[in-house]
Amino acid sequence: MACVALGFGCRHKQSAFPTNRGVWAPDRILAQLDHPRGIAVVLSDTLSRQALQLAQHSELLIYLQLTDPHRVARNRQLADQAGLLNSRLYIEAGTSSRIHLADNLADAVILEQGSPSEWENEIHRVLRPGGKAFTGKPEWTKSFPKGIDDWSHPLHGPDNNPQSKDKVAVAPYLTQFLAEPHYAPAAQVAVASAGRLFKGFGHIAFHEREEAYLNKLVAFNGYNGALLWQRDLVPGIMLHRNTIIATPDLLYVGDDRSCKLYDTATGEWRGEITPDAAQAGGTFWKWMGLQDGTLYALIGEQEMKDPVMRWGREKHGWPWDAISPGFNQQEHPWGFGRDFFAIDAKTKKISWHYHEEEPIDSRTLCMNSDRVFLFRFGAYLTCLDARSGKKLWRKTPENAKELFTAIGAYLHRQGWETNWRSRNYMMCSDEALYFAGPQIDKLLAVSARDGRVLWENPFNNFQLVLRDDGLYGIGGIWRQNVSKKFDALTGDILADLPIARRACTRPTGAADAIFFRADDGTVRLDIQTSRPQWISPMRPPCFDGVTIANGHLYWWPFVCDCQLSIYGVTALGPAGDFNLYPTATDSERLESAIADPQSISSLLHDPADWPTFRKNNIGNVTTDAAIADSGRPLWRFAESPAEIPGTEILGHPWRAELTAPVTADGLIFYASSDGSVHALDETTGEQLWKAHTGGAVRFPPTVHHGQVLVGSGDGWIYSLVARTGQLAWRFRIAPAERKIPVYGNLLSTWPGASGVLVEDGVAYVAAGILNYDGVYVYALDAESGRLIWQNNSSGHLLREARTGASVQGHLLIHDHKLYLAGGTSLSPVVYDLATGACLNDPEPLKTCDTTHPRGWELYLIGSRVVAAGKPFYSRSDQMVFDPTVTDKLLHTHCGGRDILWVNQSRLLCLPPIDEQSLNDCVAGTRYLGFFAPLWKKLAGPLKPIWEHPCPNSIAVAIARNAVAVADAGELTVLDLHTGKTRWRQALEYAPRPWGLAVSRAGRIIVTLEDGSVRCYGGASTAATPFIRSNNTYFVDSTRIVLGCHAKDAEIYYTLDGSEPTRSSTRYRAPFPIKESTTLRMRAYTRTGVAGYVVSEALKKVAYEPSAATSSLAPGLRYAYYEGSFNKVADMEQKQPVETGLMMGCQLKPREGVEAFGYVYNGYLLTPEDGIYMFYLLSNDGSKLYLNGKELIDNDGPHGAFEKSAALALKKGEYPIQVKYFQAGAGKALRVAWSGPKWTKQELTAEVLFHQK
């Protein structure tokens, strides 16, 4: 196997740091960070070892940027051997003019002493505020910039006005990070301070996917999304209230017993505040506000605890009448108390106390700069001096009839139109109080100075944001544009706003905009123009809205299945003057590694190959190959043992996930989310080569002639030589080198996530994730990588709103058009294949509304292309419950029949369906407002020839004689004409989505969730030659006898390394070989169908001289070592812990020791002259030496893996040495051989000796 290091996967058990002192010692660096989890940048050509150690022994994600590009390949190889490449350790080449990361991302930057000073600006740019720079000089910490703001209370501040004072988080934006969890339970609150985010998740999980975060308090790094810590909350407490407050150092959390104080960096408990229960009327904290060093709190008696709800729903949305007992009773049961306190936050002593006989409603409690306001419906509105607690005024129905008449009766409203009943309905400024919310039948303004009515508006569904330029009332319901901008003190309407919010989500304000929910996605109401702009990929959750703090905008995970492209924790930062519309040129973007691409040996194309994702450019998974009549497991390939859980990156689960496979001319290709690209021999499953890109790969390579083309998460498209993995060329499709965390991967903001299609020698690829970041679509010459056309504007098809296409799935080519799964706002996106012009109409984007399913899969139905399936960045183990996700139809023709795969649950074989009927089932159909095909309309009147139920199936392939379908536990092959089962095989793990391909030889290749590749089938349906004489090693000369399983096939061969064709030598009889050479052979059937090229190395070898020995005794001498090793040579730096004799290469480490090594020395007795084959299997690294020469190199950290080599040996004794080390977790060592008269067996004491 060849390992081609183009650029990087982590399943590594952390262990203690090796002894390494000095300024760059990893343990010293970790000790100075404020948290052990985050992102560290190493800028050094000489500190790569420290970078590897940090990745191995810490929770940091390491980005190593080297100035010398020649060092990249070697360091990537070492990281790959350690199982860390492109998971916990990323390695790239770059200059000091640019670190390839987003601004404010890194927790630490490490730079060797004496490095050029020009790094300093870049270090300052990529370090997050509070991050540390280690430069060989005194370490320094990046300060927080001026103009950023905390979001210290659930509604920003104790005034309940969700308007940020952050001056940095302004448009335009670029994505800062995307992080887990994708989904989380209700209710929720969010606060933020000093670069950290704190999220409280409540007690209601509507779906199983949300249950992991029930009753959790979670802290995130606000600059890179790392999960810093989490704590349990008291179960059943209704969380949607002001009882969590964030400060730079302490987090205040009120519950049913006290106000807990937690260290914001670590989550450690720092004490609690517990006023006397008799004085407070109880111990339950109902509301909190912090201002000028005083903690204000409403405390009282215990209240109803709602049961923790695990609904386990498998449907879209949730019923508003079945949330929980507390939420669904008529009267709101939470947040009422009689006693209000002012407490000195430092001393924890009560400054003053105020008591009301009738309980205060905490949903109205608010404070301005010097006053506190208390309210109860129909009873009182009280104003207290915040410093003394003195009552400044108190209004009651008796003394303020006008006020209470204006307020009106309490409304019990709760629903998607108005919001949750638990939300606040009063906010304040220094001049006024504002009543609005589900509980009140109007918008009412009251003087904060004396409690008199200022003005009112009769509309009863405003949600408010108060800004310096006016009071914004964002109205519901969607498409009823009743939003207004009011004069805050007079109520005069300053502007009618041309938009309303969709449903219950709370609006929040930034310096230049107000954010609220669109029909799906987010409306950004631009303050300067009063025009709505659409941030379509994600929506703010009901309880929080968009959180604006730390110079960024944050969206949160929720319970819903709304029409979105992105779920989870999403952060946007200011783009500044970033150029989103650059023009790419070959001179800037193209790197060629092979001067003449035409010199690359081409694969032999056959219509029965499967050269691209879903077989062809229309993705119909239909092949000319014939599946074998019977099936059995033929081979399994996995680089490491099956390991479903994987590891954690930035505190979130991570594991390598394979793409679907492709196959051509006897080779199998696939890629992985660890950035690797693999080639296997289809017949044997042997790995032929492995290459690395710099980021996750989402789709398999596309085979074109002698090259494979793959789009990578590092923002480049790569062309690799199909037979060797050598780089032919690469082209940067990202407009800039800017990497961000994306659900545990470090990716370009513009990854090549669409995959690559090739048509008529032109390669097509799209770069990007989300439309507001920009989307870049290219046509390149597939052979040379030269640019043909580019489209840099479709992401901002509506330029003024910066919205349009996203890259949210794969490509499809039909009718001279290129289609892209584009996510929520626009899907599919359509480009002219010849020019790249986007053919979609931008006008509908102005409505901030969508009719496009967001799925990552494209289907050609009739002449229409339809999007369906899950969101592209959803988790494979989490279902999205929505008909636009689950309703799909694959339609194809084969053997005079039409095959339908309906909703991944039924296979139908039908007579041919006319195109108009197919078009009719697509055109104009709407479901819940979205265009989606109506399958029942199509399949209802048709009588199938046969039907096969296949619920929850994952992958399918249609061959000329059979249909293969796979679900999580079984692969089934059906007869195409009858639908009867031909054969089936159990699957240990589920296939990857569309993870099935049929080879030219009729074998079925499956990539599985455990990271393995399996091959199933029987006798090859393609002609495959082999060496019948089994004599690839010889001493003097040999005669080669060829054979082929296909009857009457013709074999053609070459001995000069060239590709065999019909013009090569035809095999007619055995032929002699006297020197080492490479035999390449291909068989052709009588009908002219070409088989695969089979290569065999024929090696002439000389006998190794035996040693003259005496006084031998059974067994081997061994030396046993302990310590952390990355290669067997590392043991030379240590003294053995013990030495002795063993009867073989046995592993007997001391109890509890996981990292150790052995060196075995002795002699091997060979019984006769002949060719001997040696086998060395180990986990982790090993080497085998015979006669003083290295015979097998199986070194480096890896799972159980076997290598072999042959030698010609005479009868006698030969010095043998085996070196082995174990780095942790699973261990294995086996040394075996086969000889002239016996098959493979383990070396045992009968042939192993040592000198006395």
Going 12 to 18 to 24 to 27, the CA torsion angle's sign is: positive
Report yes or no on 655 lying in a domain. Answer: yes
Contacts of 1018 (CB under 8 A, 6+ apart): 628, 629, 630, 631, 632, 1002
- Dmax of the chain from CA atoms? 117
CA–chain centroid gap for 195, Å, is 23
Together in a domain, 474 and 498: yes
What token pair was written down for 720? 């690799």
Report yes or no on 163 lying in a domain. Answer: no
What local confidence, expressed as pLDDT, does residue 640 receive?
Answer: 63
What local confidence, expressed as pLDDT, does residue 644 receive?
Answer: 42
Helix ranges restricted to H, 887-931: 915-920
> What SS3 state is found at 277?
helix
Per-residue pLDDT tens digits for 749-791: 999 999 999 999 999 999 999 999 999 999 999 999 999 999 9
Angstrom distance (rounded) from CA 77 to CA 233: 45
Report yes or no on 160 lying in a domain. Answer: no
User: Block means of pLDDT (10 residues each) for the chain, length 1252 residues?
Assistant: 39 45 72 92 88 91 92 88 92 92 97 76 96 88 97 98 98 97 96 98 97 98 97 96 98 98 97 92 96 97 96 89 92 96 96 97 98 97 98 98 97 91 96 97 97 96 97 86 94 94 90 93 95 93 95 96 93 96 97 89 88 98 93 88 60 89 96 96 93 96 97 98 95 98 96 98 98 97 98 94 94 98 94 97 87 91 92 92 88 94 94 87 58 60 89 97 97 97 95 96 95 89 80 88 86 92 93 93 82 86 85 93 91 92 93 92 94 92 94 87 89 95 86 91 92 88
> What SS3 state is found at 194?
coil
Angstrom distance (rounded) from CA 606 to CA 998: 13
Report yes or no on 362 lying in a domain. Answer: yes
Angstrom distance (rounded) from CA 486 to CA 484: 6
Angstrom distance (rounded) from CA 495 to CA 514: 15
The domain boundary, picked from 1040, 1074, 1100, lies at: 1100
Enclosing H/E stretch for 919: helix 915-920
CB 933 within 8 A of CB 917: no
DSSP assignments along 58-102, one per residue: SEEEEEEEES-THHHHHHHHHHHHTT-BTTTEEEEE--TT--SB-
Report yes or no on 587 lying in a domain. Answer: no
What token pair was written down for 206? 């509507």
DSSP assignments along 1089-1145, one per residue: -B---EEEEEEE--EEPPB---SEEESEEEEEEES--SSGGGGGGS--SEEEEESSS
Return the residue matching tokens 């082209």: 731
- Whether residue 861 is preceded by a cis peptide bond, meaning omega within 30 degrees of 0, is no
Together in a domain, 261 and 230: yes
Together in a domain, 778 and 907: yes
Q: Would you tell me how many other CB atoms lie within 10 Å of the CB of residue 1101?
A: 14
DSSP assignments along 1001-1043, one per residue: TS-EEEEETTS-EEEEESS-SS--EEETT---EESS-EEE-EE
Q: Look up the CATH number of the domain holding residue 520.
A: 2.130.10.10
Together in a domain, 749 and 824: yes
| Helix/strand/coil percentages in the chain, nearest 5 | 10, 40, 50
User: What domain count does the chain have?
Assistant: 5
What local confidence, expressed as pLDDT, does residue 924 receive?
Answer: 55
Q: Look up the CATH number of the domain holding residue 1177.
A: 2.60.120.1560
Report yes or no on 481 lying in a domain. Answer: yes
What local confidence, expressed as pLDDT, does residue 927 receive?
Answer: 47
What token pair was written down for 1174? 């040696």
Pairing of strands 37-43, 106-111: parallel
Together in a domain, 1127 and 1049: no
What local confidence, expressed as pLDDT, does residue 1121 receive?
Answer: 95
List Cα–Cα distances, 192 to 142, 225, 894, in angstroms: 19, 13, 58
Contacts of 398 (CB under 8 A, 6+ apart): none
Angstrom distance (rounded) from CA 756 to CA 613: 9
Going 1162 to 1167 to 1168 to 1174, the CA torsion angle's sign is: negative
Together in a domain, 968 and 1083: no
Enclosing H/E stretch for 1152: none
The domain boundary, picked from 1017, 1048, 1071, lies at: 1017
CA–chain centroid gap for 225, Å, is 13
Q: Can you give the residue range of the structural domain that contains 1119?
A: 1104-1251
Together in a domain, 1044 and 1157: no
Report yes or no on 168 lying in a domain. Answer: no
What local confidence, expressed as pLDDT, does residue 870 receive?
Answer: 94
Report yes or no on 582 lying in a domain. Answer: no
Together in a domain, 6 and 66: yes
Closest C-alpha among 150, 882, 161 to residue 567: 882
Q: Encode 748-769: b = buried (16+ Cβ within 10 Å), e = exposed.
A: bbbbbbbbbbbbeebbbbbbbb
What local confidence, expressed as pLDDT, does residue 21 receive?
Answer: 46
Angstrom distance (rounded) from CA 84 to CA 61: 10
Q: Rg of the Cα trace of the chain?
A: 34
CB 963 within 8 A of CB 956: yes
> What SS3 state is found at 857?
strand
Q: Look up the CATH number of the domain holding residue 1053.
A: 2.60.40
What local confidence, expressed as pLDDT, does residue 19 receive?
Answer: 47
Pairing of strands 59-66, 37-43: parallel
Together in a domain, 91 and 233: no
Angle, nearest 10°, between helix axes 48-57 and 70-81?
20
Closest C-alpha among 647, 720, 636, 693 to residue 83: 647
Angstrom distance (rounded) from CA 692 to CA 697: 10
What token pair was written down for 390? 């003195």
The domain boundary, picked from 562, 577, 612, lies at: 562
Angstrom distance (rounded) from CA 1127 to CA 74: 14
Q: Look up the CATH number of the domain holding residue 132.
A: 3.40.50.150
Q: Look up the CATH number of the domain holding residue 617.
A: 2.140.10.10
Length of the chain: 1252
Residue 406 DSSP code: H
> What SS3 state is found at 56?
helix
Closest C-alpha among 410, 273, 223, 214 to residue 331: 410
Together in a domain, 867 and 752: yes
What token pair was written down for 1155? 């990292």
Q: Would you tell me how many other CB atoms lie within 10 Å of the CB of residue 875?
A: 18
- Whether residue 181 is preceded by a cis peptide bond, meaning omega within 30 degrees of 0, is yes
Together in a domain, 1109 and 1096: no
Q: Residue 529 burial (CB < 10 Å; 0-12/13-18/19+)?
A: exposed
What local confidence, expressed as pLDDT, does residue 931 receive?
Answer: 56
Give the predicted TM-score (pTM) of the model: 0.86
Helix ranges restricted to H, 692-802: none
Together in a domain, 955 and 1048: no
Q: What are phi and psi of 48, to 5 degrees?
A: -65, -30
